[in-house]
Homo-oligomer: A and B are copies of this chain.
Amino acid sequence: MALHGGLLKVQTSGHAEIVDLTAGVRSVVSTSGADRGVATVFVRGSTAAVTTMEYEPGGIEDLRATLDRLVPVRPEGSSGDYAHNRLNHDSNAHAHLRAALVGPSEAIPVIDGDLTLGTWQQVVLIDFDDRPRERTVLVQVVW
């Protein structure tokens, strides 16, 4: 058993930009030399999330619209604002909420030296913050 880590730096424009991490994660797995193992993908920070999806324009538009509807930028049925924004003079409460619901990590098996993703399944970062960010995604391969 061994461990190999990699760090992906990702520039985003925020506002729920969705970035395909698959090539970056594959590169860390390949460098590790692991044949069979597990790759953990984790985004540092409380306003971004990691999940998997088919990374195509329609799905990207739908996912952004769905999160806009489920967790709107301003709270529904209220003339006020989120408590996070009110108490901290901030504007990205919706980003914190979406990130906590989607979650920061996924664990993906490695077989035959590759991620066991489906053909139309990519690992993605969603940056919910309301401004451009440089994101740090950590990949740890255990095998």
Residues of A within 8 A of B (CB): 1-3, 5, 36-38, 40, 42, 44-46, 51-54, 56-59, 61-63, 65-66, 69-71, 75-76, 82-88, 93, 96-97, 99-109, 111, 116-118, 120-122, 138-140, 142-143
Contact = CB atoms under 8 A, between A and B. Distances in A.
Contacts of A42: 106-109, 116
B140 A37 contact: yes
B56 A88 contact: yes
A108 to B, nearest CB: 6
B102 A105 contact: no
Nearest to A117: B44
A63 B82 CA distance: 10
